[in-house]
């Protein structure tokens, strides 16, 4: 059986230690999965195997987030399935632009995170519900993507771990 694992392309300025934190994977585990890697010398464009996560190419779903339009779109095999209204990061706490994957899900995380938390492959960022539904459609978060609880629950029930998330202005 072929195993599909996630491959992370190193971006300028990244360190192996930060990549490990972003994917919530122990540094030693990443080093073991990448024989011959020098943990002190990685370079932009270098491919790093992230063990334990499926490759987004094996998943039919993709998430596209527009910060300026304040929507999250769910695609299956390139076809739009649904669009959701979201809240995004406020000034000084902008939502990070880039390509990420969902690396875990936590139902009922409590507090301001509403009924569901889905971690992105960028430390401290995720897609989550809210205890303040009036905030949806605004730039009010600390950089996360905030959704109505019913919407984030629906989304989490559809997309698997490893789903690609593209965030753009």
Q: Are 122 and 96 in contact (CB under 8 A)?
A: yes
> Residues with catalytic annotation?
128, 144
Dist. CA 166–CA 64, nearest whole Å: 5
Q: Which of 45, 76, 44, 82 is nearest to 62 (CA)?
A: 76
Element (H, E) at 149: helix 149-158
Dist. CA 82–CA 69, nearest whole Å: 15
């Amino acid at each position: 059986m072929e195993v599909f694992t996630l491959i992370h392309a190193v971006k300028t300025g990244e360190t192996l230690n930060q990549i490990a934190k972003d994917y919530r994977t122990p540094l030693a585990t990443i080093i073991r999965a990448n024989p011959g890697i020098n943990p002190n010398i990685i370079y932009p464009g270098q491919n790093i195997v992230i063990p334990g996560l499926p490759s987004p190419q094996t998943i039919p779903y993709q998430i596209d987030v527009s910060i300026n339009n304040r929507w999250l779109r769910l695609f299956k095999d390139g076809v739009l399935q649904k669009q959701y209204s979201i809240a995004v990061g406020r000034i000084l706490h902008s939502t990070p632009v880039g390509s990420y994957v969902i690396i875990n899900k936590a139902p009922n995380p409590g507090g301001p995170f509403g009924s569901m938390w889905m971690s992105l492959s960028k430390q401290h960022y995720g897609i989550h519900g809210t205890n303040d539904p009036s905030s949806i459609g605004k730039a009010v978060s600390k950089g996360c993507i905030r959704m109505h609880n019913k919407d984030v629950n629906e989304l989490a029930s559809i997309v698997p771990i490893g789903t690609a998330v593209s965030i753009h202005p």
